[in-house]
Structure 1
Amino acid sequence: MSLTLIPFGLETSTNNLVDVAEVENGKKCGCICPSCSTPLIAKQGNEKAWHFSHSSKGVKDKTKDECAYNFYLSLRLMARQVISGNLTIALPEYKKTLAKKTSSGKYAEVPYLITPPSEITLLDVKVESIFHGHHVDIVGNISGYDFCIYFTHPDRTVPYELEWIRDSKSGIIEIKLDALHKVFLDNRKKDGLEPFKNLFLEFLRTDLKSKRWISHPRFQRAKESAEKQLNAMALRMVFEHKKSESKTEEKKIPSAKKELPHHRCAKCSTAWSVKQGYICPKCFTVCRTSH
């Protein structure tokens, strides 16, 4: 299924977004395009994945705008409808690594955990809200902390300014919607289609791979703790390096040869090794003591 085909339509009788599997086939679906208001046709065939398409006959006067509708836009519109009140969502772990080059030329690294994987319930959820002056998809609250969700897909990335927000009272997470296209297609291949809005909510609740932490309330505190560990590690590495160099230098210095025991002649003061016997090699006096 192309990303430009329409998975959801706006049901005119209820003004709600509906899955193509929830309506009658063909023009009797009673839906219009959420983007351009053109009447839709529900395509529920046996070969292609079910989808809506624009009606092409006698609808020119009903089309309000040029249609830029696509799969990912439809998901964000669906979010307005299915997310309200509270939202339970699984969150991935958030970890980072600090590194620095020491004076010895080696690198010290300290991995640090900001938060483990968890499941939270956001309260007072608002869809398409303002967060730190930016338009975002979801804003909620948990234990007095503001929490923001920003949906991304191939045509939509996280604003640069959001990437650099570091607030001890709020958290920001990116959710990539890319994987949902395959979820949608796989669901269309099954008997007894599951309404896609249910799959969407399940994706938000359980999927971890598509989520990325942008900011967390404990980030700065965890980073400062890791920096202290990193500095201590770097100092130890430098100390160990100098200690190792010192031992290497000691090995290079030749040690003085141990002097062997010797005799000294009491008569002529000549000294000789005990290995040469007890007789002075100069005056032939017998010597029985050694030094």
Structure 2
Amino acid sequence: MHASVSTPSLRVPFGLKDGQMVGPAEVQSGRACDCVCPGCGSPLQARKGDQNVWHFAHDGRACATGAETAVHLMAKQILATERNIRLPAVHVTLSATDAFGRERSVTAVLAKAQHVQYTAVDLEAAQENRRADAVGTSESGTKHWIEVFVRHAVDTLKVQDLEARSWMSYEICLDDVHAFTSLEQLRIAVTASPERVRWLSYPGMDKLRVSLAEKLRRILEAAERQKAADDAQVARTYAAQVRSAPIDRMGRNRLQRERIRSEQRLQQANRAFRAADDQAKRAYLKAKLRLPDGPTPALVDVDVRGHASFGVSRDVWQSDVFRKWVFAHGRRDVSLETILSWMANRYDITPAFEASPKVALWTYFKFLEKSGFVRHKGGPYFQVIRDVAPWLEAEVAGVGGWFWAPRVLACSLQHLIEADGLVGANLTTGILMELFKRLRAEHSSNGQPDDAARTLAQRHGISPNTFLAILASANVASCPLQPPTKRLLA
């Protein structure tokens, strides 16, 4: 069971008066409101000024659970009063990573989205030794078990019990407590926001999962067979190249060792980042993003739903995502699934609800889209269309345009020369310059390096794998942001 972090707040959105939840607009101002905190029972004052949003405040010391309890009780009261809700479709999705490292999923819809009108909503109702936040009875007599998630999500054992009894049950997610500053906002969130509803159980859900699991198994097995065939072909091709070019063998072995060492260094860096405290993480990210002194820029401190799923403050993981996938990388396509896999190695992901990490990352990228940094290409895919942070606009203008870090690209040619020596190909300057141009194009076109390798191989009569090896070892991202020691370009 996941528990959200509670922090004392003087603001309580709703008060308890004579056993009923009320909003500030329904009572007199100040102590005359005659309301108490639903969390601790202490007296409240109704604050109805001209500057701030109307709210209640503790008359004395604030408690830790007042706001959460207020939202929870008022949400149930809204259900009992309104007696209607918009529910999403009931669907089952199973996902797994196939042999190629791709996320594969299968989905089926069990019931369509619907607007339900209840004839009765019983609060704190008991059903077969279980107690629900509410039980709604529809006009057809169908009963819905309803849970309101504010602080504690429904635990796995309870979900399993609901499934075993084949009850129709769902959970309304209201964990972003402080987003509800008015009764109308909460009413909409409870009754007219199907994206906040998560189905817990539904008749036939188990059978559907079994069917989808079999379908997903066949997809994964097909991918495994294809991967095995591809690996066998690669092995045959590699063996033929080794036999035909024994001189390159030593260089390839060195390159393979270097790749292994690079992977080990990456894993070590991820472990060190995960183990560091937030202050150390922020210092690292500030240096990487060249952040100015002062408050964290709004670009990397966006209040998104589920932002606490990564076990760190939202400014930390958003700065890290912006650094790795947007900042100074030029035009390229990115997949949210790939980013989440990368984040799993750097953060302790503890989702408030099943999809909260995906929701948080999706919402952040939609914010970046509105801010002009990325463009949604469909599904989980986005294209970076601007890689310059606002705090570096003046520097960008000084170097003129998209390639705002030309020193990195100049450094890339030096990396190609070093990679050439590592592979032992001893290529001419002209060929290296063609490879350099290809690397520069990668910053804007997101082309495939192997396409360039085949083209250059045909042009110069050299093995495509030689070019691929050089491109792989000439890691542009590792170039320092400082001028090269000697002029590399005319």
TM-score (norm 2): 0.38
1:226 equivalent in alignment to 2:212? yes
Conserved? CA contact 1:167–1:216, under 8 Å? no
Aligned residues: 224
Alignment partner, residue 149 of structure 1: 146
Over 3 Å counting, the alpha-carbon distance change for 1:107 and 1:199 in structure 2 is closer
The 5-angstrom pairing of residues 197-276 of structure 1 reads 198-227=184-213, 229-230=215-216
2:134 pairs with 115, 138, 141, which one? 138
CA distance in 1: counterparts of 2:14 and 2:214, whole angstroms = 52
Alignment partner, residue 164 of structure 1: 160
The 5-angstrom pairing of residues 185-204 of structure 1 reads 187=182, 196=183, 198-204=184-190
1:83 pairs with 79, 84, 97, which one? 79
Over 3 Å counting, the alpha-carbon distance change for 1:233 and 1:27 in structure 2 is closer
CA distance in 1: counterparts of 2:9 and 2:218, whole angstroms = 52
1:28 equivalent in alignment to 2:32? yes
The runs of 5 or more residues in structure 2 that have no matched partner are 1-6, 231-490
The 5-angstrom pairing of residues 37-52 of structure 1 reads 37-52=41-56
1:96 pairs with 88, 93, 97, which one? 93
CA distance in 2: counterparts of 1:21 and 1:151, whole angstroms = 24
Over 3 Å counting, the alpha-carbon distance change for 1:174 and 1:126 in structure 2 is same
The structural deviation recorded for 1:96 is 0.8
Indicate the SS of the match to 2:12: coil
The structural deviation recorded for 1:21 is 1.8
Indicate the SS of the match to 1:164: helix
CA distance in 2: counterparts of 1:147 and 1:11, whole angstroms = 29
The structural deviation recorded for 1:112 is 2.1
Alignment partner, residue 54 of structure 1: 58
CA distance in 2: counterparts of 1:152 and 1:205, whole angstroms = 14
AA of the residue aligned to 1:147: H
The structural deviation recorded for 1:236 is 7.7
Alignment partner, residue 11 of structure 1: 17
CA distance in 1: counterparts of 2:37 and 2:10, whole angstroms = 12
Indicate the SS of the match to 2:74: helix
AA of the residue aligned to 2:23: D
The structural deviation recorded for 1:174 is 1.7
CA distance in 2: counterparts of 1:4 and 1:26, whole angstroms = 14
The runs of 5 or more residues in structure 1 that have no matched partner are 57-62, 188-195, 245-291
The structural deviation recorded for 1:163 is 2.5
Indicate the SS of the match to 1:32: coil
| Percent identical residues | 25
Per-residue CA distance 1:91-132 (angstroms, 9 max, x = gap)? 223231266979xx9998533222332222334321122345
1:114 equivalent in alignment to 2:120? no
Indicate the SS of the match to 1:84: helix
Conserved? CA contact 1:26–1:41, under 8 Å? yes
CA distance in 2: counterparts of 1:47 and 1:78, whole angstroms = 25
CA distance in 1: counterparts of 2:228 and 2:177, whole angstroms = 56
Per-residue CA distance 1:149-203 (angstroms, 9 max, x = gap)? 21113x322123122232464122121113453242xx5xxxxxxxx1x443332
Over 3 Å counting, the alpha-carbon distance change for 1:219 and 1:41 in structure 2 is same
Indicate the SS of the match to 2:72: helix
Conserved? CA contact 1:99–1:110, under 8 Å? no
The structural deviation recorded for 1:19 is 0.7
Alignment partner, residue 68 of structure 2: 72
CA distance in 2: counterparts of 1:225 and 1:37, whole angstroms = 51
* Larger Rg, first or second structure (1 or 2): 1
AA of the residue aligned to 2:93: K
AA of the residue aligned to 2:36: I
AA of the residue aligned to 1:7: P
Conserved? CA contact 1:168–1:220, under 8 Å? no
Conserved? CA contact 2:92–2:109, under 8 Å? yes
- CA-based RMSD of the aligned residues comes to 4.0
Higher strand share: 1
Conserved? CA contact 2:36–2:43, under 8 Å? yes
Per-residue CA distance 1:204-260 (angstroms, 9 max, x = gap)? 22112222122121312323443554567678889999999xxxxxxxxxxxxxxxx
CA distance in 2: counterparts of 1:115 and 1:74, whole angstroms = 33
Over 3 Å counting, the alpha-carbon distance change for 1:243 and 1:206 in structure 2 is same
TM-score (norm 1): 0.60
AA of the residue aligned to 2:147: Y
User: Could you tell which deviates more after superposition, 76-85 or 44-53?
Assistant: 76-85
